[in-house]
Amino acid sequence: MDAKIEAVSSETRFCSAYTAIRMLADLGLHANGYRALTSRPGHHYTAIQTLPLTLGVDARTVVRLDYLRKQRNVTEYSGDLVSDADVAECVMRAEALYVLALRWLRKNRKDLL
């Protein structure tokens, strides 16, 4: 995972891990026959908030993923720095969501594997 390459900035690593989270959230939508309109604001929010319905993610995890989404917005649009703790959490959450998504696909949508 590119987010683990310590030779790049914390902000780049964070955004890379966040992108993995967002793409996995999109996968959940697509695997259930939906998609968030990228032409409208809020598609990242929508994809993350629907994770309990699409991939069975627990509510506490969604709260943390939404926090990371907000941090990503601050970093991307304001240029603020990202803490090492936020980078580590984002990488950990991306890896955990990947495992959960793969488990969900194996159980519910083997045709997509």
Mean pLDDT by 10 residues, the chain (113 residues): 85 95 97 90 93 98 97 89 95 98 97 94
Closest CA to 60 of 96, 27, 26: 96
Q: What pLDDT score does 57 carry?
A: 98
Q: What pLDDT score does 92 carry?
A: 98
Locate 76 and state its tokens.
């991307």
State pTM to two decimals: 0.93
C-alpha to C-alpha distance for 78 and 102, rounded to whole angstroms = 34
Superfamily of domain 2-112: Nucleotidyltransferases  domain 2 (1.20.120.330)
What is the domain partition of the chain in residue ranges?
2-112
Q: What pLDDT score does 20 carry?
A: 97
